[in-house]
Structure 1
Amino acid sequence: MLGLLESTLAYARERDYTGYDYFDGMSSRLLRWAPVDNKWVNIAVQESIKRAPVNVRPLFLVEQRQNFKGSALFAMANATAHDLTGNPRYREEATALADWLLEHSNDDYAGFCGGHTHEMQLLDERRPANTPNVIPTSYAVKALLRLGADRYVDAARTAAAFLEEDLDYTELETGARIKYQPQYSGEFYTLNGGAIGARMLLDLYDRTGEERLHEQATALFDHLTTKQHAIGGWTYRDPPSASHLSMDNHHNGFIVESFLHYREVTGSDRYEETLDDALAFYRERLFDPNGAPNWDEESSYPKDIHAATQGILVFTKAGDREFAREIIDWVLGALYAGDGRFYYQRRRFYTKRFTLMRWCQAWMAYALAEHLSTSAEISVANN
């Protein structure tokens, strides 16, 4: 499997970690050349590109860009590849990617932060490129802390100010909550964003020992426990009516992984009942026995590579390495193109046989690296 990780990283490295992305339709040069600038035209083009059964991005002249979150994932995967192989090239790649994250942080906010490098048109907003939010910021923080140099750690520590001030960390009777991105009004709560934000605070606490970060993370997790449904999962937003998504796979995976991380970092069983219910729901309702990911609690399709990679991460972290390997085997049978390249998604009657650099390659590289790293740790411990 180490060879698979190396070929996955080679595919990205040969392309300078640059490629198409999941939500990049607004980067179409044809759209920019259009004689009108209209929300509905933007949405029509963006959604047509996103939903097409084949990759129409070249036809629309969509720009290939380096992604902030993808760069963080590739940085960590390269760092792990260096640990596993001793090849200095991987360390050099990881350092270059971490430097890129520092250079592309958005300096208009209270601390280190970042977002997607393409513009997005939504129903209620037009989100400029590089608008920061909690998810890419948290993975970039994890990458900087993983690399460990003083300049990276110093930058990562300031992300706590971004979360507290720009994401409006707010204490409640049930704990605390944050906004997904600075521009949101707070009328709804993106639940996986709260979990990932809490995980970021735990990463910083684990490095710095600052008790305030631990307390804030715990408050965010406390509130999340009140939003868990009886079947064990979480809807994408609270209230559920605020999104067309229900209890989809990879966003629930973010939440489960974050609770697992709390247990790992703190040694506390504070959320053991929450975790037991969440892991049972995640395993039984969001995955088939052969490792194939379901879309949500009701729908089997589409079977998305991001859901699969998040499952690899969750079950590896939970100690269920056998099922994590089942997921890897399913990906290799259903979504692997060969030569280190992975396809985007399997639909009921066809497969979307194209590659998105962050969504497919970065996530798969990171998931494989984490799985291999745990294997290596177990091997060392047993010898």
Structure 2
Amino acid sequence: MDHLILHSLKKLHLWIKQNGLESWDPYDGINNPKISSLRPLYPYLHIALIQLHKHSPINLRPLLNIKKGIDTKGIALLLQAYSLLYLTTRSKEYRDTAHNLFKLLLENSLFNKYGYHCWASHYYPYVTIGSELSPSIPDIIGTVNAIKGLVMYYRINPMSKIKEIVQSSCKFLESLVEEKEQYTYFLYTPRSSGKIVPNASAEALEAIYYASQITNCQFENEKVIERTVSTLIKLQHPQGSWVYSISLATGKIRHQLDFHQGYMIDGLISGYKLVRSLELKSLIADSILRGVAFYRKMFTKDGVAYYRYPSRYPVDIHNQAQGIITFTKLGKFLDDNSYLEFAEKIAHWTIANMQDISGYFYFRKLGPITYKIPYMRWSQAWMMLALSTYITITSQKRGFQ
């Protein structure tokens, strides 16, 4: 067991325990009713404020009365992490923490409004050109991470209630399936018809695979899974990458080469396990290998992720965390220790360069400037999950339980 990584995890756990779950978030720049309700210049003023707070190394939020909150996606990520940690260490403290996170996650379910257990990722409103998110609108990313957290928690506390919740959440995912033109994909939100976000479909596949381990989470038409996987393969560029999104109505494509490439690989690993067709499995395996070849180029030999390829800087903690997760999963899936070794290299660099002496992880580094605002979801939850994933999988491979 890697003692440096385990020590880092313990420091991070103590920091979270001492500071609580309330936090600011990189994208919470309009989390003030007086700001979010402003209509003049909507949404451009709102987008500008969000970007201002995200990119400022100085925390301006107190000046604009932007409140902290508890992020639902952050809860789901931490539930995954602490469940994994308990399975590896059998520490009662980790189990108790997971139980409290489980209760908090259920409190944030939008079941009463939508009739399914589903979740909005964040506690704050968020807008971009042509789309918006709010705490009252469920989205696929918040829900799939909740499903994964629930399944992992079920492994340490096998309550029938959890199976029922996961089954309900699968029904919500099923309601997001859209088939247009030659594509089958999962919508990001119930309101985003006609927009393909490949990583949303990839994450849905991973959640369905997790859910299938404890429920009969099978879509009425299993061909939907095969067609979704085929769509993701079709959308992959020859060099191995995927775009962030495609609007079928306008043809507009958003290019963003960052941690979302890791999501794609993770989702296809689950897709490989879900489908039965040997021919399709072969195509998925080829797609994964091409995706990995490209994803590896997005890191230096020392384990430092590019910000948005080919742009190197700033170094972002989310990119680092996803690299640890994806290369660790690849090491297990392909039974190749070289991927585990690279995940370890990413982890060691991140701990040495981006973990504060108090235990939390920094948001970004840009030359001599370090963005030290301690974001819970973006930084702490993702690193807790990344390091827990590495510790769990490497412990299993090396015989530690």
TM-score, L = length of structure 1? 0.90
1:259 pairs with 251, 263, 268, which one? 268
Matching residue's letter, 1:91: R
Contact 2:11–2:358, Cα closer than 8 Å, also in 1: yes
Structure-1 residue corresponding to 2:116: 111
Q: Which moved more, 1:86-95 or 1:32-41?
A: 32-41
Which residue of 2 is the match for residue 28 of structure 1?
Answer: 32
Q: How many residues align structurally?
A: 377
Specify the SS of the correspondent of 1:66.
Answer: coil
The alignment partner of 1:207 has SS state of coil
Task: Give the counterpart letter for 1:332 in structure 2.
Answer: I
What does residue 66 of structure 2 align with?
62
CA distance in 2, matches of 1:47, 1:297: 20
Q: 1:359 to 1:275 in 2, by over 3 A?
A: same
1:201–1:217 CA contact under 8 A, matched in 2: no
Query: Which structure 1 residue ranges, 5 or more long, are not aligned?
Result: none
Identify the range of structure 1 (262-271 vs 55-64) with the bigger mean alpha-carbon deviation.
Answer: 262-271
Q: 1:275 aligns with which of 273, 277, 288?
A: 288
Specify the alignment match of 2:334 in structure 1: none
Amino acid at match of 2:114: Y
Q: How far did residue 185 of structure 1 move?
A: 3.0
**Alignment partners' CA distance in 2, 1:359 and 1:172:** 33
CA offset at residue 31 of structure 1? 3.1
Deviation at 1:153, TM superposition (A): 1.9
CA distance in 2, matches of 1:210, 1:52: 43
Q: CA deviation at 1:207?
A: 2.3
Aligned to 1:14, the other structure's residue is in SS state: helix
User: Residue 208 in 1 paired to residue 220 in 2?
Assistant: no
Q: Please show how residues 74-113 of structure 1 align to structure 2 within 5 Å.
A: 74-107=78-111, 108-113=113-118
CA 1:109–1:30 in structure 2 vs 1: closer, same or farther (change >3 Å)?
Answer: closer
Deviations 1:328-381 (A, max 9, x none): 122123211122210011224522222210000000000100100012111227
State the alpha-carbon separation in 2 of the partners of residues 231 and 239 from structure 1. 22
Paired with 1:69 and 1:357, the residues of 2 have a C-alpha distance of 10
Which is worse superposed, 32-41 or 259-268? 32-41
Q: Describe the shift of the 1:171–1:92 C-alpha distance in structure 2 as closer, same or farther (beyond 3 A).
A: same
1:193 to 182, 200, 221: 200
The answer to whether the aligner puts 1:122 opposite 2:141 as a matched pair is no
The gaps in structure 2 that reach 5 residues or longer are: 332-338
TM-aligned CA deviation for residue 99 of structure 1: 1.3
Overall identity of the aligned pairs, in %: 25
Asked if 1:182 is matched to 2:190, the reply is: yes
Higher RCO by CA contacts (8 Å cutoff, separation 6 or greater): 2
| 1:146 Cα offset (Å) | 1.1
**1:177-218: CA deviation from partner (whole Å, max 9, x where unpaired):** 1211111132x2111011111221222223224543754333
Match of 1:248 in 2: 257
Root mean square deviation of aligned Cα: 2.5
Cα pair distance change 1:160/1:92, threshold 3 Å: same
Structure 1 residue 101: Cα displacement: 1.1
Displacement of 1:86 after TM fit? 2.2
1:379 to 2:398 alignment: yes
Cα distance in 2 between the residues matched to 1:174 and 1:350:
47
